[in-house]
Amino acid sequence: MDENQALFEQVLTAIFREEFPRWRGDLSRILRVGGKVINGESDRELKRLCRVFFEESGVRWLRYELHTAYWRERYPQDQEEDDDEEEGGSNCYTMTDLLVQRILLAYYAQKKRLKYEQEVDTFPYWRLSVIEDGRAYPECLEEAKAGYRHHADAYWKTKKLPCNRLDCRCSISHSMKPD
Ligand SMILES: [Zn+2]
């Protein structure tokens, strides 16, 4: 099996186990489309299968519920009118959009991390890189304040990307020096 496909399967399986711990269904259909998506083909089939997954399984997605509650609290007006999608628009994504996005973000984050792990002799310091465009989550900004930490630091032993909230767009940057 292609190593990218193997990584995709590993990441996607981990996401489903974490997000839908009570669901016991079969992931094979979704896993099979992974190769097409990561080879730069359309992610339309992945989206379709994720939509079917939600329809057929009827699972509750706790992280999505937390996500909508968070954005509803911040932008209550967006519930009626969403002509301001650029700024408050995160709550306008569907569950399917956010699941597909989380799968792809996790895959690319893991791929980057594996590459950085091979380069630690030259670039031993890693930092959480946050897009500061007003949509970044406060928890992410807080974590990013620590700047560069050694890759063997306890933080990086447990840190998972994407971060806790849906639509987090953080990534890792690496460096030769602490700052
Ligand atoms: Zn984040």
Residues present in the chain in total = 179
Average pLDDT, the chain: 89
CB 124 within 8 A of CB 153: no
Gap from CA of 104 to ligand 1 centroid (Å): 15
Ligand 1 centroid, distance to 1 Cα (angstroms):
31
Whole-number Å distance between alpha carbons of 142 and 145: 5
- Residue 163 C-alpha to ligand 1 middle, in angstroms? 4
Question: In angstroms, what is the span from residue 56 Cα to ligand 1's centroid?
Answer: 30
Predicted confidence at residue 80, as pLDDT, reads 56
Q: Indicate if the pLDDT at residue 84 is higher than 60.
A: no
pTM, two decimals, is 0.88
- What residues pack around ion ligand 1 (CB closer than 5 A)? 140, 163, 168, 170
| Domain ranges (residues) in the chain | 3-79+91-110, 119-175
Higher model confidence: residue 46 or residue 77? 46
Residue 18, SS3 per DSSP = helix
Tell me how far CA of residue 75 lies from CA of 9, 45, 63, 87, 89, in angstroms.
36, 32, 18, 10, 9
Q: Is the pLDDT of residue 90 over 50?
A: no
**Residue 140 alpha carbon to ligand 1 centre in Å:** 4
Closest CA to 16 of 66, 45, 53: 53
